[in-house]
Amino acid sequence: MDRNIEKPKDITQVTDYIWEIPPSYKKGMLVPARIYASRKLLQGMDAGVFEQVTNVACLPGIQKYAFCMPDGHWGF
């Protein structure tokens, strides 16, 4: 995985605890990616989290949204 991935600049706040990355963020995304987290948790997330949730949004058969929960992280 490319460690130089940046956090999305076009992420939008839907509610106090829901953030959304639009399908236009990455070629192949079929649905928006939604992240459930406080602002503080979101700011502490590694860029790999955004890469993973947007990759999930590209999977065939996905419906409505790709979700990332507040404990979102990648790797071990």
8 Å CB contact between 51 and 30: no
Using the Cα atoms of residue 22, residue 23, residue 29 and residue 31 in order, give the sign of their dihedral: positive
Quick check: is 2 in a domain?
Answer: no
Total structural domains within the chain? 1
* DSSP-based three-state secondary structure for 20: strand
Tell me, what's the pLDDT at 8? 84
For residue 21, give its domain range. Answer: 12-68
Quick check: is 30 in a domain?
Answer: yes
Residue holding tokens 């070629």? 27
Tell me, what's the pLDDT at 6? 63
Q: What is the pTM of this model?
A: 0.85
Tell me, what's the pLDDT at 19? 96
Tell me, what's the pLDDT at 2? 46
Quick check: is 43 in a domain?
Answer: yes
Quick check: is 5 in a domain?
Answer: no
Quick check: is 45 in a domain?
Answer: yes
Quick check: is 74 in a domain?
Answer: no
Quick check: is 58 in a domain?
Answer: yes
pLDDT of the chain along its 76 residues, tens only? 444 556 788 899 999 999 999 999 999 999 999 999 999 999 888 888 999 999 999 999 999 999 999 887 666 5
